[in-house]
A and B are shown apart, each in its own frame.
Chain A
Amino acid sequence: MKLATLLLTSVVAFAVMAAPVAASTGDTLDIVKKRGYLRCQVGTPSGGFYNLDADGNWYGLDVSVCEAVAAAIFGDKNKMEIQSVSSQARFTALANGESDLLSRTATWTISRDTQLGLDFVTPNFYDGQGFTVLKSSGITSALQLKGANVCVTTGTTSELNLTDYSRQHNLDINIVTFEDWNVRDDTYLKGGCDAVSIDKSSLAANIVSFPNPSEHLLLPETISKEPLGPAVRHGDNQWADLVRWSLFAMINAEELGVTSANVDEMRANSKNVDIRRMLGVEGNIHEGLGVSKDWAYNIIKQVGNYGENYEKYIGSGEGALGIQRKGTLNELWTNGGLMYSPPMR
């Protein structure tokens, strides 16, 4: 009898736990405004995208997206709180309302977009998986990696991509997995694997951190598409619009030549209708977003345009990773890249 009662209680408890969570609709912006600050989710620190500095401040390309959204809503990029969530808990933390926004190098895939209850807004970085090898190995193409030991980190799409690639090209690659990328790199440096495979941006960053960067070679092949971008909860279109256009405003500003340095002058003197419209001098593009007229001005003034942020954190800026932007997909469409903002009118 006692046991039966106990069992019943636990069954009821689990039934309650398993009850589906009602999807939220259309109130994130109100919640954020009422709270007074944005809760923006990043991951455990990742070079160039979201890092802690020695003074305890967050910085990086993805952090600048958080700042842009905060600047658009509140006119102050600091009215946000960065939450660092492990990759296992990232989508749950967004779904349960703990985070308003996810900005953490998550790859946009159909299964994530359709099955996890989230919407990717638009990519802010186009990455692709590649390989690093030792120059002395004589390997110059990924197709020469037949039977090689390739080190990857677990829990990312890179392991799956590598399996697919190996099968497709009959390479018979032996995949060695690691939980921690530092250990993976140490193993590689000590000769434990012939190549390391992960997104090329990370590979570039890793090579920079090796004792002798010139001894290593990034192979030309890109074996996967990794569009990385911010994501929001599925079903809140108003909120998704705001995040999407905050990012587009940064891209558009770069295309129009508006930077954090010249934005004041542009707002005062520019004759260009596109610029005047974006900065809120004329027209009323802000109305549908539910933010103030100078939202885009605040983003550009306080956070900067896309190119500025790229150089500052990823590109050639001081303390940046040093990944060339020229010739990559992350260039503006006018320079042959994929960074393209729909017109702001």
Chain B
Amino acid sequence: MTIIKPVESPTVTAPLSKNSALRWVRKNLFNSVFNTVLTFVMLYFVYVAGKGMWSWGITDAVWIADTRRECFAISIDGACWAGVYAWFDNIFYGRYPREELWRINLGLVCLVIWMVPLWLPRVKAKISIGMTTVFLYPFLAGYLFSGGAKGVFMQFMVTAAIVCLLVNTLHAIVGVCSGRSLLEFIVTLFGKKNASSKRGRNILVGLFAIIFVVIYIWQMNWTVERIPWTKWGGLFLTLVISGIGIAMALPSGILLALGRRSNLTIVRVFSTTFIELFRSVPVITVLFMATTMFPLFMPQGFVLNKLVQVIIAVCMFNAAYMAETVRGGLQTIPKRQFEAAHTIGLGYWQTMGLIIMPQALKHMIPNIVGNFITLLKDTTLVSIIGLFDVLGMLRSISKDSPWLGLHKEPLVFGAFLFFVICFAMSKYSRHLEVKLSTSHKK
């Protein structure tokens, strides 16, 4: 009888040939004569293409110059990035007055501050934060960007937006520090344990009212110079158009998709007509119709804001596409889900809101984000109808006297810019998919 002693065998690192890069290369690239030849041929092509790009874009490129002629004088074959750099303000902000650029930056910072709590794990009430982003932020941003005198409604909404931003931020800070909501935190601050007590609620309401009034009075004297939309441009304009398009496409797409599946004839016919009409017409035609044809039927001298026309056209077009994506998602939901919802006594909107949509939307994330990316890229079509979005600006560089004929570099830069934005969006969608795929883990 032998006694077996449990002796831990020493850990041995895997042989070098098992996990080294060399082994991977040999296994995947040189495992047969044919593959070896193929690898070398491909490497040669990559080298030829890469070398040209590298020397044109980096080694032979000119980074500092005042005119294209100077670029040529320094290096005749290289890229002239100096021209792109000189136009940075135009590319990012359009013709926005240079001393007012802080307003665009501030608007962007506000958006980031507003949205950051959505990503923080310990913060509660994310849905309300998301809703306020969609419904209140546009008023604050809209005023920051366009300026001018505020009407009573605008004053109210701007105040509401500022208060909301403050509350959101405090809520996020409290949430991150203590894991509680702002409501609970304030109530405990006043020595009340129970949030639902009447006194606590009164304190809260009073507090908010005071903050609201203070900010309202402050913002009455806060005005910024009016900047007409015709001065908007560059990446800023692209993001405004596509941002509104994205924010509007999903809700209206959901409504249209539900309308198309509705039992009410008028709703169904309207939704179907709308979707089919906009899906069958190229986006550029919709834009042309909206901007040049539409004013023909209006009284003389009546000019609707072209930007608004474009935004409406973009929204309608994308709502139609989104509706079909959503309908596709809805069709993946088995009928028993509807029946089960009916059985427990849920009405139509509750069934949709609580049972169907949460499941359907999860399936649709890749498609929805795909739509958003397409929308962002389609937005560049507005440069054809005379709005100077980022593409319009990039193409204008080649006509500016100091940079006459400079057109490759701006387009390469534009491609890079769009890649960064779109790739970030697609990565984020992947992240969301993983995060939300609770029931379909592999």
B293 at the interface (CB under 8 A from A): yes
A206 touches B405 (CB 8 A): yes
Q: Bound state CA distance, A84 and B76, in angstroms?
A: 33
Whether the Cβ atoms of B297 and A97 lie closer than 8 Å is no
Are A6 and B400 closer than 8 Å at their CB atoms?
no
The distance in angstroms between the C-alpha atoms of A319 and B386, with both chains bound, is: 25
Q: Which residues of B contact A45 (CB under 8 A)?
A: 395-396, 399-400
Contact status A51-B400, CB under 8 Å: yes
CB < 8 Å A-B pair total: 115
Across the interface, do A83 and B89 meet the contact criterion of CB distance under 8 Å? Answer: no
* Given A31-B301, A211-B76: A182 in contact with B230 (beta carbons within 8 A): no
Q: Which of A46, A81, A97 is B302 in contact with, Cβ under 8 Å?
A: A97
Q: Number of B residues contacting the other chain (C-beta, 8 Å)?
A: 48
The answer to whether A97 and B301 touch (CB under 8 A), given A53-B400, A206-B405, is yes
Any A CB within 8 A of the CB of B438: no
The main secondary structure of chain A at its interface with chain B is loop
Q: What is the distance, in angstroms, from A16's C-beta to the closest C-beta of chain B? A: 7
Cβ–Cβ < 8 Å partners of B400 in chain A:
45, 51-54
- What's the interface size class on A, roughly? 35 or more
How far is the CB of A268 from the nearest CB of chain B, in Å? 35
Interface string of B344-360 (1 = CB under 8 A from A): 00000000000000000
B273 and A89 contacting across the interface, CB-CB below 8 Å? no
Complex contact A93–B401 (CB within 8 A): no
Tell whether, in the assembled complex, residue A205 and residue B273 are in contact, meaning their CB atoms are under 8 Å apart: no
Is the pair B404, A84 in contact by a Cβ cutoff of 8 Å?
no
Asked if B296 lies at the interface with its beta carbon under 8 angstroms from chain A, I say yes
A83 to B305, CA, bound (A): 13
Interface residues of B in 44-82 (CB under 8 A from A): 68, 72, 76
* Chain A contacts with B in 75-94, Cβ cutoff 8 A: 81, 83-86, 88-89, 92-93
Indicate whether A98 reaches chain B with its CB closer than 8 angstroms: yes
Report the bound CA distance from A294 to B301 in whole Å.
28
Whether A46 contacts B90 in the complex (CB less than 8 A), given A17-B293, A97-B295, A182-B405, comes out as no
Q: Given that A81-B230, A97-B295 are known contacts, is A54 also in contact with B86, CB under 8 Å in the complex?
A: yes
B142 at the A interface (CB under 8 A): no
- Report B339 CB to chain A, min CB distance, Å: 30
Is there an interface contact between A55 and B396, defined as CB atoms closer than 8 Å?
A: no
Residues in A with CB closer than 8 Å to B288 are 88-89
CA–CA, A55 and B400, complex, Å: 11
Q: Does A333 contact B (CB under 8 A)?
A: no
CB-CB under 8 A for A98 and B401, given A6-B273, A54-B89, A84-B386: no
Within A10-33, which residues are at the interface with B (CB < 8 Å)?
16-17, 19, 21-22, 24, 27, 31
Question: If A45-B399, A46-B399, A54-B86 touch, does A98 touch B295 (CB 8 Å cutoff)?
Answer: yes
**Chain A: CB-nearest residue to B296:** A96
B residues with CB within 8 A of A: 68, 72, 76, 86-87, 89-90, 94-96, 98, 228, 230-231, 233, 269, 273, 288, 291-293, 295-298, 300-303, 306, 384-386, 388, 392-393, 395-396, 398-402, 404-408
* A→B interface (CB under 8 Å): 2, 6, 16-17, 19, 21-22, 24, 27, 31, 44-48, 51-57, 81, 83-86, 88-89, 92-93, 95-98, 180, 182, 185-186, 205-206, 208-212, 319-321
Known contacts A6-B273, A89-B292, A98-B303, then 16 further A-B pairs from the complex at CB < 8 Å, ordered by chain A residue: A21-B296, A45-B399, A54-B89, A54-B402, A55-B89, A55-B90, A56-B90, A57-B95, A83-B230, A92-B296, A96-B296, A97-B301, A97-B302, A98-B292, A205-B404, A206-B405
28 sample A-B contacts, Cβ–Cβ < 8 Å, listed by A number: A24-B300, A31-B301, A44-B386, A44-B396, A44-B399, A45-B399, A51-B399, A51-B401, A52-B393, A52-B396, A53-B400, A54-B90, A54-B400, A56-B94, A56-B233, A57-B95, A81-B230, A84-B386, A84-B388, A85-B386, A86-B384, A86-B386, A89-B292, A89-B385, A92-B293, A96-B292, A96-B296, A97-B295
